[in-house]
Structures are given as C-alpha cells and as structure tokens.
Amino acid sequence: MRRTNSETQNGWWRRVDSTPDTEGFLAGYDPRAYDPIAVTVDVVALTIRDAQLQVLLVRRGEPPFQGSWALPGGFVRPSQAPDGTKTEEDLAQTAARELAEEAGASLRPSHLEQLGSYGAPGRDPRMRVISVAYLAFAPGLPEAMPGSDAADARWTPVNALDPRTLAFDHAAILADGVDRARSKLEYTPLATAFVTEPFTITELREVYETVWGEKLHAGNFHRKVLSVPGFVESTGSHTETGGPRGGPRAKLYRRGDATLLHPALLRPATEAELRP
C-alpha cells in the first residue's frame, strides 16, 4: 500500500484534519489511539580476549527472559519526552551510547556498523518490537570490565555459548553478526579494529585465525598483508622483546588508509557455503 493511502484508508494513522496543508497534516496524526510499535537498538560487540572471539552480554534482571543473557541494547528515545525535552539521537549514536552505558565509558569500539533489523512478530512477548542491530568491533582489553552502569555485564566466548540461553532472538542476531565479521575480514581492513596500535603482523594473523577459526600459514599471510596497498603501514620500530618462547623482535605497524582490501584475503571456500 502507498504510505499516503494507508493513512486514510485503514485508519492506522488517522488524519483528523482533512485539509491538505502540512500544518493540519502534522497535527492530524493520533497514533496513541492504536497499538504502538517499539524500536530498540541492540549491539553485537565483539572482541578478542584469550585467543577467543568474545561477545558482550548483559544479564536481564526482569521479565521477559529474566535471568537470561542478552545483547546490550535499549529502546530508541522518541523525539520528544513527556516533559518536553528534545532528545534527537541517531540510531548509530544510540548504539554507541548503549554500549558505553553497559560496558563503561572505556569501551570505545573502533568500528561500528549497522547489522540489520529484526521485526518478526512475537519476538518480544510484550509487544511488537523492531530491533535495529549494530555490530561493534573493539580491541581486546587486558583488564576486566571496567566500572559499569550495568552490574551484570561480561564478555563471553562465542564458541562456548549455548544459543538457547540467549533472550529473544538474540542468538540469531549474534550468529548474523559473527557471519558479517568473518566475511568483512576478507575484503576490508577491519581486522585492525580488533588490535591496538602499534601491532605486529602476527597479532593481525591471530585476529584472522580467531575469527575464522582456522590456522593460517604464517609466512604467506605475512607477505600477503604487506602486499595489499594501504592495509598497514610501518611505524619503523620493533617490539621491545621477542616472543615468549623466543624468536626475533617483530616490526610494528599501524592501520593504513585503505577502506577495501585489493586484492582481498579470501578464506578457502567451504563447499557447504557455496551450495544449499
């Protein structure tokens, strides 16, 4: 149906004032007379800790799904509060704010992108809720979770997670987020979002190995990364020491200016992914 027709035809969004000027149009809506739709923003925040891909989860303190773990998120603030305060906020800003409030201001994701929206009827038992999911990459924090607005938030290894323990359809959202991360490593330099600068080529390779879940050939990976224009750029310095079990000191790099990798770092195609 056309938006302009739906307003008058089915009464969902009723036009009280029938004059076609904009003023009357704006005043004519009375959506409060009908069942509302809520919009939330949920965040799949990924990091690498202890050589594992981990996701930030918060424990729900109230029903529904009380006691279950869930993705951090919250309702989108409407444009006007009951007290008249204007709080205009973009969806991405909402995602960043939710993340900071859940995990503490110290969690500054180095990458944040929209993942997709989830709006199946019944995904929230209370009402129709459309959730706009965001995907965040953060470098691994050596310390534990900093002081946080949410008492019960923690990083959880994705592999050691029973999907059935997640609230709502968050298991599906998480799976989509991990899929997105895996494929984005192929043709974007986003692996650098998981490490802190400066970093070594080996650290970068460990990002790929952790997210993809497979060992890569160190020598070939090294040469390949350096051959992609703009992926990384040298800092000119080395690590202070060699590895914990020996080996020469590694050269240090920072992020390059490329937005796409060309040629890409393709993972070997799995037959199962190519065919249904």
Residues 83 to 122 in contact with a copy of itself, rule: CB under 8 A: 88-91, 97-98, 101-102, 114, 116-117, 119-122
Kindly tell me which residue out of 16, 144, 160, 274 binds a copy of itself, with binding defined by CB under 8 A.
274
Nearer to DNA, 156 or 183 (CB): 183
Question: Distance between CA atoms of 136 and 46, rounded to whole angstroms?
Answer: 6
One residue of 146, 163, 213, 229 binding a copy of itself per CB under 8 A: 229
Number of other CB atoms surrounding residue 251 within 10 Å: 16
Structure tokens at 243: 């590895």
Among 145, 182, 221, 230, binds a copy of itself (CB under 8 A): 230
175 to 234, contacts with DNA by CB under 7 A?
200-202, 217-220, 222-224, 226-227
CA 22/CA 140 separation, integer angstroms: 51
Which one of a copy of itself, DNA, none interacts with residue 6, CB within 5 to 8 A by kind? a copy of itself
Is the distance from CB of 3 to CB of 25 less than 8 angstroms?
Answer: no
CB of 178 to a copy of itself, least distance (A): 17
> How near is the Cβ of 250 to DNA at its closest, in Å?
4
> Which of 161, 205, 180, 193 minimizes the C-alpha distance to 68?
161
Q: From the list 70, 145, 161, 171, which residue makes contact with a copy of itself (rule: CB under 8 A)?
A: 70
Residue placing its CB nearer to a copy of itself in the complex, 98 or 203: 98
Which backbone phi and psi does 36 adopt, to 5 degrees? -85, 165
- Residue 76: other Cβ atoms inside 10 A: 19
Distance CA 55, CA 103 (A): 12
Given DNA, a copy of itself, none, residue 235, with its beta carbon under 5 to 8 Å by kind, binds none
The CA–CA distances, whole Å, from 99 to 7, 42, 150, 255 equal: 36, 9, 10, 24
* The token pair that represents 201 in the structure block: 């080529």
- 67 touches a copy of itself (CB under 8 A): no
146 forms part of the interface with a copy of itself (CB under 8 A): no
Q: Which is nearer to a copy of itself, 4 or 227 (CB)?
A: 4
Regarding 197 and contact with a copy of itself (CB under 8 A), the answer is no
Cα→Cα distances 238→191, 207, 223, Å: 20, 20, 17
